Amino acid sequence: MSNVITVEPADYMTVAMARIIQDGERIFHGVASPIPAVAIQLAKKLHAKNAVYLSIAGYVDAVPSQFSHTSTAGAHLGEGAVSEFLLSDIFDLSARGELDVAFLGGAQIDQYGRINLSAIGSFANPKVRLPGGAGSAALLPTVKRAILWKTTHDKRSFVDKLDVITAAGNTAYVITPLAIFKRGNQGKLQLYSIFPYSSFDEVVEHTGFPIEKHDHFHKFHPITEQEFTILQEIDKNNTRFSEFR
Amino acid sequence: MSKLSSIQDAVQSIENGALLALGGNALHRSPIAFVLELIRQEKKDLSLIKTAGALDVDLLALSKSIRSVYAGYIGFEMLGLAQNYRKGVQNGEITVYEHACASVIAALRASIYGVSFQPINGFDGSSLPELTGLIKWISCPFTNKKTAVVAALKPDVTIIHTNIADEKGNAYIDGSVYEDLIMVKAARRTIITTEKVISSTEWKEKPQIPGFLVERVVHAEKGAAPGSCAPLYTIDDHEVHSYLKNPKKYLERKVAVSHV
């Protein structure tokens, strides 16, 4: 298949997210989330037609005709939606245990799937003040499954110790340009899958915490022609690459 | 009596040190024209409430107008960090009261309900409660369950940008309403900026914001630009990039002349 199409890390990350989404699940993404936004549409066109898409725009099951390279919080993510469901409603849904999946990011991620989006250095006297965790401190402990992603995989991002614990909780998967981690024994992230161009050693080399293999560790199953065709249709203007700078 | 006001008079009513809630989300429908007038009038020591802020907060950080920020997220999404906000915090000029977006909403709801705090499910395992002091853990008086509570936030003034408003303060948002209605209900007073002013006899839409909660209405066409105001205009990427490239130059250009 690789002689037919050129597949980039952003494609693998998007398809990996889509495959994790199950039919009928209620799914949320927030600001700065182009890969999840595309992945949700991809899953809904493939195996998860009854998944419920929720976003900051405040609508249910939008089918955006295009995505923005700048933002995933705009009213364009209401296109094709039938009903309203505001961000405050989404937080309430998660608070009462009825949100299935939230896509969340982290400037730093540790081996327990906890995240730092607050500061590098100390919180009170930061070396770098980060944007803040957005919804994560409320969502991560209450959503059924959080899927984290990060478009850089290095020792500055995947750390032994977070500078600040912005949020902790129900991280189920972490998706990077190299690999997929899955939460396993004792709540620790384990290496679940690696993308075809990546290797176990490469992941170890670029990760700041000890790597254990998950019981079902495997090479990522190649992206199918159907997945890739639909992915390109959904994301015509290639917004899934906009987090790679 | 008509509530129509010039942007200059509306901003003159803001006191230095005021706690302001700004509507919109990230680069969408935030009251940028109002923010620029705050800067022209050299307002100081403001505190801001946002769920997710971007250019609005960064402009006020650049002009050294803010003392503290209560928010879940301040950044330009895929365009990167809010550099002036970041520097202001790192220099110790701005105090960050980092919330989750959900706890900003809960804190505003406490004010809506007329109580001083609001229980919220979340924050287990997070260091934010300890670091900010905004979230405390109590034992539920009915079940003894450990429960997070957040202190009320009552904006002195909420400022939101809307698509249409009338002279009585009734206002309509087309497109995403975000947390604007919550911010209006929680505030001591509300100022509306709006793309279009109509007479209260002309409504075809049903305004979500009732005039009795609104103190002033300011006609501000393109009042959210270079952010979006759906469905009228989208983010002006060129202008946002010119800001990010040279914020000071952008601000000098915008502060020199009011387009409103």
pLDDT (average), residues B149-154: 98
Dihedral of CA A134/A137/B129/B151: which sign?
Answer: positive
**Bridge pairing between strands A171-175 and A179-183:** antiparallel
Confidence of residue A3 (pLDDT cuts 50, 70, 90): very low
pLDDT (average), residues B147-176: 98
Report the residue of A29, A65, A88 to disrupt the B interface, i.e. the one with the largest count of B CBs within 10 Å: A88
CB contact under 8 A, A132 and B71: yes
Element (H, E) at A116: strand A115-116
Q: What's the pLDDT tens digit per position in A166-210? A: 999 999 999 999 999 999 978 999 999 999 999 999 999 999 999
Tokens of B181: 């209605």
Residue B27's nearest CA partner among B95, B82, B87 is B82
Task: Please tell me the distance from the alpha carbon of residue A9 to that of residue A15, in angstroms, as a whole number.
Answer: 10
Residues in chain B, how many? 260
pLDDT (average), residues B71-86: 98
Tokens of A51: 């998944």
Helix (H, G, I), strand (E, B) or coil at A209: coil
CB-side neighbour CA atoms (13 Å) of A55: 29
Query: Cα–Cα distances in Å, from B232 out to A110, A225, B174, B194, B236?
Result: 43, 38, 9, 12, 12
What are the DSSP calls for B183-240, one per residue? HHHHSSEEEEEEEEEE-TT--SS--SB-GGG-SEEEE-TTTTTTSBBTTTB---HHHH
- Using a CB-CB cut-off of 8 Å, the residues of chain B touching A86 are 177-179
Does the interface predicted TM-score (ipTM) exceed 0.95?
yes
- CB-nearest partner of A70 from B27, B120, B230: B27
Task: Please tell me the distance from the alpha carbon of residue A103 to that of residue A106, in angstroms, as a whole number.
Answer: 11
B247 contacts B60 by C-beta, under 8 angstroms:
no
B92 touches chain A (CB under 8 A): yes
B215 contacts B12 by C-beta, under 8 angstroms:
no
Q: What's the pLDDT tens digit per position in A75-125? A: 999 999 989 999 999 999 999 999 999 999 999 999 999 999 999 999 999
Q: How many CB atoms are located within 10 Å of the residue B145 CB?
A: 9
- pLDDT at site B134: 95
- pLDDT at site A1: 43
- How high does pLDDT run on average in chain B? 97
Confidence of residue A6 (pLDDT cuts 50, 70, 90): confident
A13 contacts A173 by C-beta, under 8 angstroms:
no
Tokens 């959900």 -> residue: B102
- CB-nearest partner of B176 from A57, A131, A243: A57
B236 touches chain A (CB under 8 A): no
Task: Please tell me the distance from the alpha carbon of residue A193 to that of residue B210, in angstroms, as a whole number.
Answer: 54
B243 touches chain A (CB under 8 A): no
- pLDDT at site A245: 67
B25 contacts B52 by C-beta, under 8 angstroms:
yes
DSSP one-letter code for A35 = H
